[in-house]
Structure 1
């Protein structure tokens, strides 16, 4: 039922932005930003469930906490990058949106390197 609520907020925001775009185009960007923040607020509420689930996984599997932290950082960076990029595209700044997307991709690669190095080290130790 929450998905329907979020979809309705999004569709309402889009329809209002379309009406405003003809008379006051600068306000349609602000409205888009506000609707995006509202939806992001609902998504943040789900983080507590995500953290509880990750703690349960850590209880069942011996996963190092730093890898879980990397996973959470990667998820957060992806959401924030996508949100920011979409706002820039809506405002008509596709070039800046592309730069944000590029930076987020590079950031995710940098974040994933310690996990990759640990995997390579484990494989190396296994082969010796």
Structure 2
């Protein structure tokens, strides 16, 4: 049901932006930004549950924390990149939004390299 709350909040923010844009276009960006921040703050509540489940999974299976930390970093980069790119698109700066998305993808690729290296070492051990 949280998804419905977020959807209603997003649609309400959109409607306010549409109405405000007719009279004060400069305030529409602020309303959009405030709506996005509210949604982002509501999403952070899910992170505590995610962290609890990850720690529970670590107690069941011995997982290297490097992999879990990399996964959490990737999730964070994805959220921040998408959020900031969306705000740039709303403001009419699609080229900056594209650059933010490219940088976020490259950052995820860099963070995932140690995981790929570990996978290759494991495969090499099986083949040897």
Indicate the TM-score class for this superposition, using the shorter chain for normalisation. over 0.9
Q: TM-score, normalised to structure 1's length?
A: 0.97
1:124 aligned onto 2:111: no
Q: Secondary structure at the match of 2:63?
A: coil
Runs (4+) off by over 3 Å: none
Matches within 5 A, 1:11-30: 11-30=11-30
Q: How many residue pairs get matched?
A: 128
The aligned residue for residue 92 of structure 2 is: 92
In the aligned structure 2, how far is the partner of 1:63 from the partner of 1:12?
A: 42
- CA-atom RMSD in angstroms: 0.7
State the shift of 1:3 in Å: 1.7
Matches within 5 A, 1:1-128: 1-128=1-128
State the shift of 1:4 in Å: 1.6
State the shift of 1:27 in Å: 0.4
State the shift of 1:116 in Å: 0.1
CA offset digits 1:69-128 (Å, max 9, x no partner): 000000010011000000000000000000000000100100000000000011112211
Q: TM-score, normalised to structure 2's length?
A: 0.97
